[in-house]
Amino acid sequence: MTSGYRDRRTHIVRDLDAGATRIYLEFEYRRVACPHCNAVKRETLSMLAKSARFTQRFEDRIGQLCREMSIKRVAELNNLGWDQVCRMEKSYMRRLLDQHPPSLQLRTIGVDEISIHKGHSYAVVVADLDQKRPIWLGGQGRTEQDMQLFFDTMGTERCKTIELAVMDMWKPFRKATLKNAPNAQIVYDKFHILKHLADALDQVRRNEYKRVNEKERRFIKGQRYTLLSHKANLDTEGRRALQILLKANKRLHKAYLLKESFGQLWDYKNPTWARKFFESWKEQLRWQRLEPFEKFAALIEKHWDGIISYCHPDHKVSLGFMEGLNNKIRVIQRRAYGIKDQEYLMLKVVTSFIKEQKYS
Cβ atoms of residues 65 and 58 within 8 Å: no
CA atoms within 13 Å, Cβ hemisphere of 153? 15
For strand 164-167 and strand 185-188, is the pairing parallel, antiparallel, or unpaired? Answer: parallel
Chain segment 47-61, per-residue pLDDT in tens: 888 877 899 999 999
Angle CA(38)–CA(39)–CA(42) in degrees, nearest 5?
Answer: 140
Report residue 306's pLDDT band, with 50, 70 and 90 as the boundaries.
very high
For strand 40-42 and strand 108-116, is the pairing parallel, antiparallel, or unpaired? Answer: unpaired
CA 153 to chain centre: 19
Where does 108-189+321-350 sit in CATH, by number?
A: 3.30.420.10
Residues 211 and 251: their CA atoms lie apart, in Å, by 11
Percent of the chain with pLDDT over 70: 95
Q: Domain residue spans in the chain?
A: 5-99, 108-189+321-350, 191-314
Query: Could you give the C-alpha distances from 116 to 123, 309, 322, 330, in angstroms and in order?
Result: 7, 31, 17, 10
Residues 291 and 64: their CA atoms lie apart, in Å, by 51
Query: What's the pLDDT at 330?
Result: 87
Q: Which of 96-100, 109-113, 116-120, 291-295 has the lowest mean pLDDT?
A: 116-120
Cβ atoms of residues 110 and 167 within 8 Å: yes
Q: Which of 41-55, 77-91, 304-318, 337-351 has the lowest mean pLDDT?
A: 41-55
Cβ atoms of residues 60 and 359 within 8 Å: yes
Q: What are phi and psi of 182, to 5 degrees?
A: -65, -20
CA atoms within 13 Å, Cβ hemisphere of 188? 22
Strand-pair partners of 138 = 124
Chain segment 105-126, per-residue pLDDT in tens: 899 999 998 888 665 688 999 9
Cβ atoms of residues 131 and 74 within 8 Å: no
Question: Read out DSSP for 153-188?
Answer: HH-HHHHHT--EEEE-S-HHHHHHHHHH-TTPEEEE
Report residue 338's pLDDT band, with 50, 70 and 90 as the boundaries.
low
Residue type, 186: I
Cβ atoms of residues 165 and 186 within 8 Å: yes
The CB density around residue 314, as the number of other CB atoms within 10 Å, is 10
DSSP single-letter state for residue 53: S
3-state secondary structure of 104: coil
**In the predicted model, what is the mean pLDDT of residues 194-200?**
95
pLDDT greater at residue 334 or residue 7 = 334
pLDDT greater at residue 104 or residue 157 = 157
Strands of the chain, DSSP E = 5-18, 21-33, 40-42, 108-116, 121-128, 133-138, 164-167, 185-188
Q: Which of 32-36, 72-76, 80-84 has the lowest mean pLDDT?
A: 32-36
Q: 139, exposed or middle or buried, with CB in 10 Å at 0-12, 13-18, 19+? A: buried
DSSP single-letter state for residue 20: T
Query: What's the pLDDT at 166?
Result: 93
**What is the pTM (predicted TM-score) of this model?**
0.81
Whether residue 2 is predicted with pLDDT greater than 60 in this model: the reply is no
Query: What's the pLDDT at 216?
Result: 87
Cβ atoms of residues 122 and 115 within 8 Å: yes
**In the predicted model, what is the mean pLDDT of residues 311-323?**
79
Chain segment 207-255, per-residue pLDDT in tens: 999 988 888 888 888 889 988 888 888 889 989 988 998 999 999 999 9
